[in-house]
Amino acid sequence: MSDQQQPAVGSKSFTAVAINCAAKAGEWIKTKLGNHTSLSLKYSAQDLVTEVDKGSEKMIKSLIQTHFPDHSFLGEEGVEPGPEASAKALQSVRDAEYLWIVDPVDGTTNFVHGFPFFSVSIALAYKGEVIVGVVYDPMRDELFVAEKGKGAYVRGKRMTVSPDDTLKCSLIATGFPADPTYALPLNMKGLQALVPEVRNIRSGGSAALHMAYVASGRLSGFWEFGLNAWDLAAGSLLVTESGGHVTDTKGSLYDIGVRNVVATNGHIHEEFLGVLAKADAAG
Ligand code: IPD
Ligand code: CA
Ligand code: CA
Render pLDDT for 159-199 as a digit per residue (tens, 0 to 9).
Answer: 999 999 999 999 999 999 888 899 999 999 999 999 999 99
Beta strands in 138-211 (DSSP E): 142-147, 151-154, 157-158, 171-174, 200-202
Domain end (from 139, 158, 177): 158
Q: In this structure, are 30 and 135 located in the same domain?
A: yes
Cα 99 to middle of ligand 2, angstroms: 17
Q: In this structure, are 56 and 194 located in the same domain?
A: no
Label residue 40 exposed, middle or buried (CB < 10 Å: 0-12, 13-18, 19+).
exposed
Q: What is the pLDDT of residue 5?
A: 45
Average pLDDT, the chain: 94
Q: For residue 17, tell me if it sits in a domain.
A: yes
Q: In this structure, are 150 and 173 located in the same domain?
A: no
Q: For residue 198, tell me if it sits in a domain.
A: yes
Could you list the residues known to form a binding site for Mg(2+), using ranges: 76, 103, 106, 231
89 Cβ below 6 A of ligand 1: no
Strand partners for 154: 144, 157
Which of 76, 106, 115, 225 is the pocket-test mutation for ligand 1 (most atoms within 8 Å of CB)? Answer: 106
Q: In this structure, are 152 and 176 located in the same domain?
A: no
The CATH number linked to 36 is 3.30.540.10
- The alpha carbon dihedral of 13, 16, 22, 27 has a sign of negative
Could you list the residues known to form a binding site, using ranges: 76, 103, 106, 231
206 Cβ below 6 A of ligand 1: yes
Q: In this structure, are 115 and 21 located in the same domain?
A: yes
Domain end (from 125, 158, 191): 158
Render pLDDT for 231-243 as a digit per residue (tens, 0 to 9).
Answer: 999 999 999 999 9
More confident site: 39 or 96 = 96
User: Residues near 148 by Cβ (< 8 Å), separated by ≥ 6?
Assistant: 1, 11, 129, 130, 131, 132, 237, 241
Split at pLDDT 50, 70, 90, the class of 42 is: confident
Write the residue with the smallest CA distance to atom 15 of ligand 1: 107
Q: How many domains does the chain have?
A: 2
Q: In this structure, are 100 and 221 located in the same domain?
A: no
Q: In this structure, are 193 and 100 located in the same domain?
A: no
More confident site: 248 or 8 = 248
Q: In this structure, are 233 and 104 located in the same domain?
A: no
Q: In this structure, are 135 and 171 located in the same domain?
A: no
Cα 120 to middle of ligand 2, angstroms: 9
Q: Which residues surround ligand 2, an ion (CB under 5 A)?
A: 103, 106, 231
Cα 36 to middle of ligand 1, angstroms: 18
Q: In this structure, are 173 and 154 located in the same domain?
A: no
Whole-angstrom distance, CA of residue 229 vs CA of residue 18: 16
Ligand nearest to the CA of 227: 1
Split at pLDDT 50, 70, 90, the class of 6 is: very low
Split at pLDDT 50, 70, 90, the class of 10 is: low
Whole-angstrom distance, CA of residue 101 vs CA of residue 75: 6
Q: For residue 122, tell me if it sits in a domain.
A: yes
Whole-angstrom distance, CA of residue 168 vs CA of residue 140: 29
Whole-angstrom distance, CA of residue 147 vs CA of residue 238: 8
Q: Using DSSP bridges, classify how beta strands 200-202 and 171-174 pair: parallel, antiparallel or unpaired.
A: parallel
Strand partners for 125: 99, 130
Q: For residue 194, tell me if it sits in a domain.
A: yes
Q: Per-residue pLDDT for 124 more than 90?
A: yes
Q: Which residues surround ligand 3, an ion (CB under 5 A)?
A: 76, 103, 105
137 Cβ below 6 A of ligand 1: no
Q: What is the pLDDT of residue 40?
A: 85
Q: For residue 283, tell me if it sits in a domain.
A: no
Q: What is the pLDDT of residue 12?
A: 63
Question: What size, in residues, is the chain?
Answer: 283
Which domain covers residue 92, as residue numbers? Answer: 3-158
The CATH number linked to 184 is 3.40.190.80
> Do 100 and 124 meet the contact criterion of CB atoms below 8 Å apart?
yes
Q: In this structure, are 141 and 199 located in the same domain?
A: no
Q: For residue 124, tell me if it sits in a domain.
A: yes
Domain end (from 134, 158, 182): 158
Q: In this structure, are 31 and 154 located in the same domain?
A: yes
Please give the average per-residue pLDDT across 89-100, as a whole number. 96
Whole-angstrom distance, CA of residue 88 vs CA of residue 92: 6
